[in-house]
């Protein structure tokens, strides 16, 4: 039996609660009202996450009575950490390594996350966890969302995803680049002009990195290429090309 401890977040009809289940704390994702479309999305999220077993992906414990039950993991959301200011390039690239390892695993199983952003990244000591596959696309399952529907967070969304394309794993690589750029500079790429970029304006400049992070510049530029064909071909390729500053701090 689940006993709610407190509400962690509410986003429209989706409520995330900290709860107690017997002798452990869990996180429960449920709907606070009737919404057939979101019920289907929660069911699809459960179907997707059940297929994933990776040290950098938060596992699903159970799905019952329309709720998803995840383990409670003490840590700091990257979004909260970035409210205090940017990270060092080394730390940001370390986060990238764990995210790319998680995505390489998911992509190999035909699953595209489609919402990699600081709010879905949990820092737990030296390890990073990728959360919330609520917008994920499983290439092996029939679509439950129109292909013309843009789903994701614009600051971290690739242009093709903004246009409604949800089946290209390279969109996740763009998002990792956007997260790392934000972590290093303190701001998401393109700032207030991001929508101009997403609708095809190639004249908007990408502000340079601070001098201490110059080694990551070419890697980030490739990750953030508007044309997916100009990005890294895969998560393993992007992971293998991580800049040298990450090497000395990774374990």
| Enzyme catalytic residues | 115
Name the strands in the sheet holding 121-124, side by side, starting at the edge strand that comes first in the sequence. 76-77, 121-124, 127-130
Check: CB of residue 36 under 8 Å from CB of residue 82: no
User: How long is the chain?
Assistant: 251
Name the phi and psi angles at 62, rounded to 5. -165, 160
* 43 vs 26: CA distance, rounded Å: 18
Give the H or E element holding residue 27: strand 24-31
55's CB contacts (< 8 A; 6+ apart) are 127
Structure tokens at 179: 């997260």
3-state secondary structure of 189: coil
DSSP one-letter string for 197-230: HHTT-TTSPPPPPPGGGGGGHHHHHHHT-SSGGG
């Amino acid at each position: 039996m689940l006993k709610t401890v407190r509400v962690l977040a509410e986003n429209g009809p989706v409520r995330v609660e900290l709860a107690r289940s017997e002798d452990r704390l869990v996180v429960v994702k449920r709907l606070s009202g009737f919404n057939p479309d979101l019920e289907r999305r929660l069911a699809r999220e459960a179907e997707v996450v059940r297929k994933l077993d990776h040290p950098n992906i938060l596992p699903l414990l159970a799905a019952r009575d329309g709720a998803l039950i995840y383990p409670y993991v003490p840590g700091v959301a990257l979004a909260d950490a970035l409210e205090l200011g940017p990270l060092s390039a080394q730390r940001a690239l370390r986060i990238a390594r764990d995210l790319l390892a998680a995505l390489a695993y998911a992509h190999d199983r035909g699953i595209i996350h489609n919402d990699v952003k600081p709010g879905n990244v949990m820092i737990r000591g030296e390890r990073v966890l990728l959360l919330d596959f609520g917008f994920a696309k499983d290439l092996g399952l029939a679509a439950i969302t129109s292909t013309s529907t843009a789903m994701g967070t614009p600051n971290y969304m690739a242009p093709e995803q903004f246009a409604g394309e949800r089946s290209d794993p390279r969109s996740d690589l763009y998002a990792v680049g956007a997260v790392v750029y934000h972590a290093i500079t303190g701001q998401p790429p393109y700032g207030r002009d991001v929508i101009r970029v997403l609708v095809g304006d190639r004249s908007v400049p990408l502000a340079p990195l601070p001098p201490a992070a110059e080694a990551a510049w070419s890697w980030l530029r490739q990750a953030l290429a508007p044309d997916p064909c100009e990005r890294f071909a895969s998560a393993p390729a992007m992971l293998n090309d991580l800049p040298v500053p990450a090497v000395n701090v990774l374990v």
